[in-house]
Every structure is written in structure tokens, then in C-alpha cells.
Amino acid sequence: MLAPKKTKYRKMQKGKGRDKGLSWRGNTLAFGDYGLKSTGTARISARQIEAARIAITRHVKRGGRVWIRIFPDIPFTRKPAEVRMGKGKGSPEGWVCQVKPGRMLFELEGVSPELAREAMRLAGHKLSVSTRFCIREDIHESE
């Protein structure tokens, strides 16, 4: 699973109000011919990213090339079960990525449009955000 090698701080606050607006960066197809774009706001965990990646690679039968355009760099904490309120912040549990509408999540090339659409549909079901399938314009015109 994806996780940073090293961070400046162990724990981070959620950051109220940072999930507003559209994605300014990473909102176009940069590498592949097909993409999976976010249409909502969510915190996507490293486990969800890995599950979506596995769904794509298994459906295309290890053909084509896949790019993961997001990285989980925000730690989230959790307190143990049946622990009373207070006594400080919990210990780091995992990593998440804050996603805004318009952000390109995955890209794919080297497969047919039908195969790519179905692979991205399967991957979208693994994520906690609504998604949309995208095709590069110059590819769409030549077919």
C-alpha cells in the first residue's frame, strides 16, 4: 500500500474548509488515453487506492499501463475500542488523500476503449467518491 517514507509530523489535523472548491491541479489527462476523474469530495484511503488499482490491472489482464495520480500523504488517527473520551489524540492508523471534484485519480493506456471503460467502472466502485470516465480528445476523434 502507498504511504510516505518520512513525514515532518506524526499527526495532522483534518483541516476544516479545505475540501471546498474544485481541483486546480491534476485535473486533465497527462499520461494515458483514458482516465477516472473525481466528481465529488472525499478522503480516499491507501487501501481504497490499492483495491482500485488491483481491480484495473486484473480486468485488463495485466495489459496496458496504469498511472495512479493521487498519493495518500495525510495521516489519520484512531483511538482503541472501548476507550473513554479525552486523554489526547489517538495513534496514527493509516494514510488518506484529500480529493476535490475534477481531480484525475487513475489513467490508463494501451487497451481498447470498452475494456478501459469497464476497468475504470470497477475501480470507481472501490472508491468512496463518485467518479467519471474520461477519454483523451485526439484519441476519440481518430476512432
CA distance 47 to 54: 11
Q: Report yes or no on 112 lying in a domain.
A: yes
**What pLDDT shows up at residue 53?**
97
Q: Report yes or no on 133 lying in a domain.
A: yes
Count the domains in the chain: 1
**What pLDDT shows up at residue 84?**
96
Q: Report yes or no on 49 lying in a domain.
A: yes
Q: Report yes or no on 136 lying in a domain.
A: yes
**What pLDDT shows up at residue 143?**
56
The angle formed by the CA atoms of residues 10, 127 and 13, to the nearest 5 degrees, is 25
Parent domain of 124? 34-79+90-142
Q: Report yes or no on 16 lying in a domain.
A: no
**What pLDDT shows up at residue 142?**
55
**What pLDDT shows up at residue 137?**
87
pLDDT tens for 48-71 read 999 999 999 999 998 899 999 999
pLDDT tens for 93-106 read 999 999 999 999 99
CA distance 68 to 26: 11
Q: Report yes or no on 96 lying in a domain.
A: yes
**CATH code: domain of residue 48:** 3.90.1170.10
Residue ranges for the chain with pLDDT beneath 70: 139-143
Q: Report yes or no on 15 lying in a domain.
A: no
What does the longest C-alpha to C-alpha distance in the chain come to? 62
Q: Report yes or no on 64 lying in a domain.
A: yes
